[in-house]
Amino acid sequence: MMRKVWALLLLAPLAAAAQQTPFWPDKDEVLKRFGSSRALEQNSQNKIYKTGVNAHWSADGRTFWYCNEGKGGAKEYILADAASGTKRPAFDAQQLAGALGKATGDTYDGRRLVIPAMTFSADGKEVRFETDGKYWRCNLHDYTLQRADSLPKPPPPRRNYRPGRWESFETRRRSPDNQWVALIDKGNIYLRHTGRGDTLQYTTDGTPAKPYGSLAWSPDSKYLVCYRVTPVADSSVYYILTSMGGTRGQLRSQLYKQPGDPFTTYEMHLLTVGKPGAVKVNTEIIDFFDAPRLHWRKDARYFMYEKVDRGHQRFRIIEVDAQTAATRTVVDERSNTFIQEARIFTKYLPDTDEILWTSEKDGWRHLYLVDALTGRVKNPVTAGEWVVRDIDSVDVQKREVWFRANGMHAGEDPYHIHHYRIGFNGKKLVQLTPEKGHHFVTYSPDKKYYIDTYSQIGVPHVTELRSTATGRKIMELERADVTEYFATGIAPVESFTAKGRDGKTDIWGIVCRPSNFDTSKKYPIIENIYAGPHDAFVPKSFTGNFRDMQYLAELGFIVVQIDGMGTANRSKAFHDVCWKNIADAGFPDRILWMKALAKKYPYVDTGRVGLYGTSAGGQNALGGLLFHPEFYKAAVSACGCHDNRIDKQWWNEQWMGYPVGPHYDAQSNITHAHKLQGKLLLIVGEADTNVPPESTYRVVDALIRARKDFDFLAVPGMGHSDGGPYGRMKRYQFFVKHLLGVEAPLGGQ
């Protein structure tokens, strides 16, 4: 009923903006709202049931059991038969509880049996299970029990593991045929025969300061790839723990690579077993990241490796001829902006001399089939104005790719993930998750069936069992029960979209409202911001957690979260906005989105706008005040990476480029701190090992030198966070003061 009332309220025509009166509560009302927010937070916990299925499959891959948890910890065990499309209670819980009580002398509640593991006989007449650390066999006809020593092992879960791009060499010193062991002594390489025991020196120019290392054998044990290594020791960053006891603070340090810092370099060489000496491979020194993983052809003469150039604008797959040390480039991708190295997928197919490879070269992230012998793209595997999000698995025998994607479904939130499979030739695309929503899929051990759980931000979860061969729905397993949750009065979260700065691109976000808001009032708006370019951040699944955003909303705010341009999971052009431009943070899109929200809902007051964020979001929160003071009036910035030269190398060079140039300074919050106009609360944990605390302290220094008024909270002993419970209470107090005009006690108490 509550959801229907809210739907009518949101869809009904609202009064003109001129008829709205600003919401300016007095102190008593604010204190009351703090109390009701805490009560609603407590009352809404654990009020949503059946949000998914954790399936425990039988060895034959036909049946599985799962447990539904209900009100008060009640448990319901279900046995499903995938082949027949039926499900039923796994056992009579009351009879089983009685049998356990009789066998042990203890009391068991059939509604709350805790059974972490069980298996059923092929005919379904017996169940073996574990409870309280003991194993039992139960005849399901008469519920007689017998003790058991153990349970049959369940089939292992499917894992779609693929190795990383960079090799781990410490275990690669023994040759595949076990005939040779590679040794390094005083920087030089020796090979010792495991049978004869004789040792032969292969290099002579290595030194402890510039040794040979990072070894990798060919599959036939004829060649050993090694590197002349020029080590670089990273510099340290420091912090002081002030409250560790005693009378002195304790200094801590950690190695920390920042933008512009040098890398250890690797010069590739080849050794041929039985031929002392090392031959330098005709290729560039690897001066970015570690030594690469090698991918050998079937003939074991040629191998390929991947190279990402510093600056993230070039990615190559390079082939090496182990006989001649000659090289050729198989794949050479270049970008005028950036290539997101962490999202490059490659799968080498030595039996057919092919490579599966993802690229955004056509403006969207897609999968390509490459001829490894010629470097020619044989065909796109996927294509269109949508994004391949991840590769679940590759079936080499059937020449199929199983993958996740977003944006393929017209009329739907383009961030919703759906699951598919397709042939290597780009044909026979099978849609595995046709229903509208954000999907999560798990497969049976033999991959004959899969369980699909989907939802939307405002639509609760549905879980279905489907056939992998066709995608056909076999049966609905569960549908989330949200009755108790919405009976608390909590407001549904709304998904909202508006056009971005180009007037064409849809920008997506969510809206949280107070549960008791009055449409005749105008409420301040607060944005929860995180504009890190590495991903998108607005939730897409139904969430029943009483989140920080809802707590703020209950105090008398409209709280929103938005993915503006410059974030990931859309087109390359959408993402490229961040290139050497992190300070943009999608603000032009965010501001237009909030103005569109206010146009639709006149109770949204864009004259009183705040924002808060942590880490990159902390950088963004302060950036809103510095670069858009005409719109944002108050900000809480926690643990911000306020200057991209101070933060970690791998993240910042990916988006801001290399070498470090004037654009780093031009976008620094420290550089622009003197422009501060709005109200600001800075929070930092003194033990932050993610973003050095001096990033925030230098903002503080710049603000003091500019004689700016601001609030500052340093939390002793705290790491990288939003300030923890105390910091969040300070945030609530801060926004109540500066956007509602009320001086409230900390936490409203």
Residue extents of the structural domains in the chain = 56-148, 338-397+405-411+423-428, 501-742
Per-residue tokens: 111: 């509604």
User: In the chain, which stretches have pLDDT less than 50?
Assistant: 1-9, 11-17, 160-161, 168-171
Handedness of CA 365, 371, 373, 375 (dihedral sign): negative
- Choose among 155, 147, 139: nearest CA to 61: 155
Contacts of 247 (CB under 8 A, 6+ apart): none
- Choose among 556, 439, 562: nearest CA to 510: 562
Residue whose structure tokens are 């899109």: 589
Residue whose structure tokens are 């990288």: 720
Whether the CB-CB separation of 369 and 356 falls below 8 Å is answered with yes
DSSP 481: B
Whether the CB-CB separation of 556 and 516 falls below 8 Å is answered with no
Per-residue tokens: 77: 């065990």
Whether the CB-CB separation of 310 and 660 falls below 8 Å is answered with no
Rounded Cα–Cα distance for residues 747 and 736 (Å): 10
- Strand partners for 558: 525
Q: Can you give the pLDDT at residue 245?
A: 87
Q: Can you give the pLDDT at residue 158?
A: 56
Q: Give 682-738 as a 3 state SS string.
A: EEEECCCCCCCCHHHHHHHHHHHHCCCCCEEEEECCCCCCCCHHHHHHHHHHHHHHH
Q: Can you give the pLDDT at residue 547?
A: 81
Q: Can you give the pLDDT at residue 155?
A: 62
Q: Give 144-177 as a 3 state SS string.
A: CEEEECCCCCCCCCCCCCCCCCECCCCCCCECCC
Q: Can you give the pLDDT at residue 539?
A: 96
Over the stretch 510-532, which tens digit does the pLDDT of each residue have?
Answer: 999 999 989 999 999 999 999 99
Contacts of 170 (CB under 8 A, 6+ apart): none
Q: Give 78-104 as a 3 state SS string.
A: EEEECCCCEEEECCCHHHHHHHHHHHH
- Choose among 609, 616, 588, 651: nearest CA to 530: 616
**CATH fold for domain 501-742:** Rossmann fold (3.40.50)
Whether the CB-CB separation of 66 and 80 falls below 8 Å is answered with yes
Q: Can you give the pLDDT at residue 514?
A: 96
- Strand partners for 78: 66, 89
Per-residue tokens: 534: 């590495």
DSSP 565: B
Per-residue tokens: 730: 């300070």
Per-residue tokens: 634: 């108050």
- Strand partners for 184: 189
Rounded Cα–Cα distance for residues 263 and 286 (Å): 9
For 684, list phi and psi in degrees, rounded to 5: -145, 145
CA-based diameter of the chain, in Å? 95
Cα 337-343-349 angle, rounded to 5 deg: 120
Residue whose structure tokens are 């001129």: 18
- Choose among 490, 487, 438, 475: nearest CA to 460: 438
Q: Can you give the pLDDT at residue 656?
A: 98
Per-residue tokens: 512: 């949280």
